[in-house]
Chain A
Amino acid sequence: MLGEFEYLLIAAAVRLGDEAYGAAILQEIERSSRRECSIGALYTTLDRLEAKGMIKTRTGKPTQERGGRSKRMVRVTAKGVAAATAFYETVQQVSYGTSWQVAQAGARK
């Protein structure tokens, strides 16, 4: 089972496709989740996912805007897609029939 941040990372990498690399994934996570993402959390999670075989990474070409430094390109594997799908389905299943408006009103009392 994936963790929440692992899911966010895989989802961002899938959306970015061939343009998925460290900085782009970080921006995509921050844009979609509206939360600040640290570079430390990003790279340690990338390592963990790669060790689990859910993503594959390679060193990309250096670019001018990066001061001539290379990128860490990310590709989600079939195992990663399956794990993310399972996570999404689990969240859907456990959320089924749950009315968050009612829960919020109950919590305010």
Chain B
Amino acid sequence: MKSLWALPTQALSSLLDFREREIVLGDLAELGMSDRRAFKGVLGLVLRRQLGRWKDWQPWFVLVAIVVPIGPLLATQSMGLNIFPGLVMWLHYGVSYRTGVSSAADLAEICFRASALITWSWSSAFALGALSRKTIWVNGILFLLLCAIFAVYSSGYPVQALWLIWWAWGPIASNFLVVLLPAYWGLRKSAKSSPTKPRWLPALAGWTVIIGSLAIWTRGWYDAALANWSHGAPALTLLQLAQRVDVWKAFVAHLFALAVLTGPVVYLLAMNQFSHRRRKICGA
């Protein structure tokens, strides 16, 4: 029977390049080292290799420009999708939570926001891998962890509530579906795709901007309804709404979020266009 260390050693060695993995595992088999020493050796090699990859600027750029700002932002943006409290209220008490916008507008807002979150998560994770392929899994795991941790802490429920109220899992479940799963999918796609420019990148960038704008626009309906509700009758005109400081602040915050979340794919596209043009000039 293999010892407790054999399996983690095999798993850890998969982080090495294929050629090096074969050579190292061959050496370990030939040397007949104890499994514990073999594990320590492979761990040391993997750590040295991973640390060596952080000598370039790209992994740091990805960490600072994508992982740290976008992970938490996606998590907080996904909180708006939590439909469970309203659903529970309706199921238990027959009372529907009125946001002040029509059901059709509510549904449109949810659909656009969910689509935008899926697109932002996928495209950010893809850009993360494309901009720093060597550290894709370290940065990728950090990205997913930040998304998950911020989802738990910005859900509005105390962590203890997760064991007491089933609908407290709502924000986390929606975050898992529209952020974590697409982000993981984007990472996998990025790891497998060739380093050359994907043809569909301009279409993806265009789609990200359009769906993001639609999500922000429909979110404005809810903000306007809320402002109207707090104002009381008569309803505010569009011009009066635009003059309200809180509405303006919300609008600017949404616009800023849109810029940050769309940034990675637009930057990736710009970089690809730049290198494509440079290759063309060098070729000519």
Contacts and interface: CB of A to CB of B under 8 A. Distances in A.
Contacts of A70: 22-23, 26
A86 interface: no
A26 B25 CA distance: 14
Interface residues of A, number: 20
B26 A71 contact: yes
B42 interface: yes
A69 B25 CA distance: 8
Given A23-B30, A26-B31, A67-B29, A39 B23 contact: no
Nearest to B51: A44
A85 interface: no
Interface size class on chain B is 20 to 34
Interface of A: 22-23, 26-27, 38-41, 43-44, 59, 62-63, 65-67, 69-72
Interface of B: 19-20, 22-31, 38, 40-49, 52
30 contacts: A22-B27, A23-B26, A23-B30, A26-B27, A38-B44, A39-B28, A39-B38, A39-B41, A40-B42, A40-B43, A40-B45, A40-B46, A40-B47, A41-B44, A43-B20, A43-B24, A43-B45, A44-B45, A44-B49, A63-B30, A65-B29, A65-B30, A67-B26, A67-B29, A69-B23, A69-B25, A69-B26, A69-B29, A70-B22, A71-B23
Given A23-B31, A40-B42, 7 more contacts: A39-B27, A39-B41, A39-B45, A65-B29, A66-B26, A66-B27, A70-B26
